[in-house]
Structure 1
């Protein structure tokens, strides 16, 4: 037998020790997790791959996001807990699967954070000069900034996220609107210059612009009224995300056409305001990175605390696992892991963006396990369960597309299984006389 863990008592008089997320802040955190710096470059990459037909890929992935997002929202509303997908895996498949999937996601955030920060760092380096050293320093500063935001709790980081989301929505909307007068029908023909099969290739490029819906599950316990507000926050995030992505993608195709550069968002702003507006792209990249990292740090810190509470990590991690508390120990581990990964990138000289390849398989596995758990946990015959069926099928396709990147997750899974086996074999602590 293992000793049951007793949650830390709520600090007396601590206003942070109660769930504080409402619809607006929850939607901002969810949107921040989904949006990434890819919105700056992916519209041009997809356009070069499939021509105007890339718009079909964008629309398809927006539509496929609906069942995926609503599935995780339904799970979070019914079973709010900081463990997120790990908790649902525990309910559906047992402690072993929960531990493995929890470890995979927890470690993936540490490995992927430098890449998310590195995208913004590249824009800062281009603007200020200094090359790779500037990029690495910027990435480190962004990791530290997000850690500090979350150190003071979800109430603070949620408010900052709301301001970031509002600023980003305004900037992307302005970029789209000022470019539309320059749209030309000639840029829409031929519609599929590289054949209709190129739409699938473009979709594969765009998949990671739509990752992040799983984060809402680890933040579900932080909502004041999860059963009501998680669904509303997800709908808001879906609508805003769809409008922003489709707007920027259409403006890139119709207004820029073959002249789209590596940073089409910058080109769109230049169309409306002239060359001085190009520098705004750096600010957008920094905000996008902070938004995405903030959501993932908030979710992963709570995941680590929940894993400690449930016996899937040492009990030391369980501090702050109660809803409304700040899981500072887990957050410190995530931050240290991200900085160590960044140090490894700096020492080895590999491109910082390549660390993203270490985590692509983790997100696919999380989606497959999470949607599979939904098939067991959500009531059959409901629209939520039907959506989970579609989401599970889509996740299997995603797993197939990322199979080549599963090695890091296999290593983590083996270590998790070994740790579980040694923990089970350890003698139980003696009970009271």
Structure 2
């Protein structure tokens, strides 16, 4: 079926920036503006600080040794550079959709589709990873409290000793039920869980510092800078989720001010927590002890204190607080798909809002089912690097979008401007490219296959149903 619009034109056409705001305001049955700076900052922290920091040391310290601290700093610098770019675009294009919408406004329809599919990796797939790791801490908690764990057959995915990760499926289902109730209710629950999560990590820093031994930091970089870079590519996974703030563009009050402020506040808290946890972790035990250590942070607390109470308390806090990550990641994914559905890039079922609740109920259920399937049957190791790839590509596109939009629409109202322009966006792109380069070859193959699938969906469905296609055909009609 032809569209009457040349394919080359479709691939490169852009959605006018002002069209996003017009559509959002005209959509009387759309999302409700109910959140302020504090709640939005909690969303950024809640969607970022999750199982990444709780299990990252186990996989990255063996690569970099105690110098993993520098890996976290490198990841934080990359996240900071990108966060500044997100802050500008979020204030200039304050709508749902995050970097998908920004790519549509700056690079064109095909780039927007590719970024949308990258975000599907970043959000939906990372939610599966988080749910799987949550099950590991649940088992650690039940082992410490009751001396028994759930059978591996029903608590681990294939390749990790089981057949079905049932706890992960239950967790995703409960989060979906909460999201269906409404964004305001979800934000309140998330705030409580984020405060609990921060309290747990402060507990680790305070108690773990008592066992700090400077001798554990030697040799500081046994694998050299190559090891630091390789660990940084994995560590960056722990910073994924900060951009969730920008998906709430149509559900916050005064978005041009609120969005950039919340992004920057969340980044400061996240960076401070990560660096402190990494420093205390590698100082509390030899770097060679991290490999293969299950539920690593709670194990470190048990070693430091020589008592049984810190481990269970820490694991219980993780089990409860990590729920907020699943909640926020699912929230971000549904809002991105809402924007894509409204543009006709994916079926409209994803942008249907239930009038009484003001939420995309059907889209939330579909996303939850997809995430639950991933968490239930896909091995954890196959997902983390692929998630980082999707996030890094999306982040690079946002930084490039800042440069393009500054040149194309210099007078566009912006609630925040990137300092040090254009150096900061260029540095952000360079850091993202460096971390992408550090990912293993298998990740490139999987990512290439994922983008090929995205292209097939675009050619078969999206280009025929895009709202821009409908407008252009209407203009060209006799």
Structure-1-length-normalised TM-score = 0.86
Q: Which residue of 2 aligns with 1:77?
A: 91
Distance change >3 Å, CA 70–CA 132, structure 1 → 2: farther
Tell me how far apart the structure 1 counterparts of residues 457 and 396 of structure 2 sit (CA, whole Å).
19
Alignment partner of 2:398 out of 358, 362, 370: 370
The aligned runs of 1:12-23 (5 Å cut-off) are 18-23=32-37
Partners of 1:242 and 1:355 in 2: CA distance: 24
Could you say if the C-alpha distance between residues 183 and 197 of structure 1 is closer, same or farther in structure 2, counting changes exceeding 3 Å? same
Q: Counterparts of 1:24-423 in structure 2 under 5 Å? A: 24-106=38-120, 109-126=123-140, 127=142, 128-135=149-156, 136-258=165-287, 259-260=289-290, 261-270=293-302, 271-272=304-305, 274-320=307-353, 325-342=358-375, 345=377, 351-378=379-406, 383=419, 385-386=421-422, 387-402=424-439, 403-418=444-459, 419-423=461-465
Contact 1:248 1:265 in 2 (8 A): no
Shift of 1:22: 1.3
Distance of 1:196 and 1:399 partners within structure 2: 16
Query: CA offset at residue 177 of structure 1?
Result: 0.8
Query: CA 1:221/1:231 → structure 2, altered by over 3 Å: closer, same or farther?
Result: same
What is the aligned partner in structure 2 of residue 14 from structure 1? none
Judged with a 3 Å threshold, the aligned counterparts in structure 2 of structure 1 residues 204 and 85 are, in CA distance, closer, same or farther, namely closer
Deviations 1:200-255 (A, max 9, x none): 22222312112223322211222212122222212221121112111111111222
Q: Is the 8 A contact 1:8 1:321 kept in 2?
A: no
Quick check: 1:124–1:282 contact (8 Å CA) kept in 2?
yes
Residues 73 and 216 in structure 1, CA contact (< 8 A), matched pair in contact too: no
Secondary structure of 1:338's counterpart equals helix
Query: Structure 2 CA distance, aligned partners of 1:272 and 1:74?
Result: 46
CA distance in 2, matches of 1:10, 1:412: 32
Q: Which moved more, 1:40-49 or 1:166-175?
A: 40-49
- Shift in CA distance, 396/189, structure 1 to aligned 2, threshold 3 Å: closer
CA RMSD of aligned residues (A): 3.2
Rounded to whole Å, the distance in 2 between the matches of 1:364 and 1:299 is 17
> What SS does the corresponding residue of 1:375 show, helix, strand or coil?
helix
For residues 91-148 of structure 1, the C-alpha deviation after alignment (integer angstroms, 9 at most, x for no partner) is: 1122232233224423664444322201111222343331240341110111011111
1:382 Cα deviation after fit: 5.1
Q: Provide closer, same or farther for how the CA distance between residues 273 and 326 of structure 1 changes in structure 2, counting only shifts above 3 A.
A: farther
Give the gaps of 5 or more residues in structure 2: 5-18, 143-148, 157-164, 411-416
Alpha-carbon shift at residue 429 of structure 1 (Å): 9.0
Q: Deviations over 1:402-433 (max 9, x none)?
A: 434313422332223212344479997999xx
Paired with 2:396 and 2:339, the residues of 1 have a C-alpha distance of 21
Alpha-carbon distance in 2 for matches of 1:166, 1:64? 25
Q: How much has 1:288 moved relative to structure 2?
A: 4.8
Alpha-carbon displacement from aligned partner over 1:268-293 (angstroms, at most 9, x marks no partner) = 43224722321234324334532222
What TM-score comes out, normalization by structure 2 length? Answer: 0.79
Aligned equivalents of 1:65, 1:111: Cα separation in 2: 20
Q: For the structure 1 residues 100 and 321, does the alpha-carbon distance in structure 2 shift closer, same or farther, using more than 3 Å as the test?
A: farther
Call closer, same or farther: CA 1:356–1:268 in 2, change over 3 Å: closer
Moved more, 144-153 or 260-269: 260-269
* Structure 1, gaps ≥5 residues long: 12-16
Q: State the 4+ residue runs in structure 1 displaced beyond 6 angstroms.
A: 424-431
Shift of 1:9: 3.0
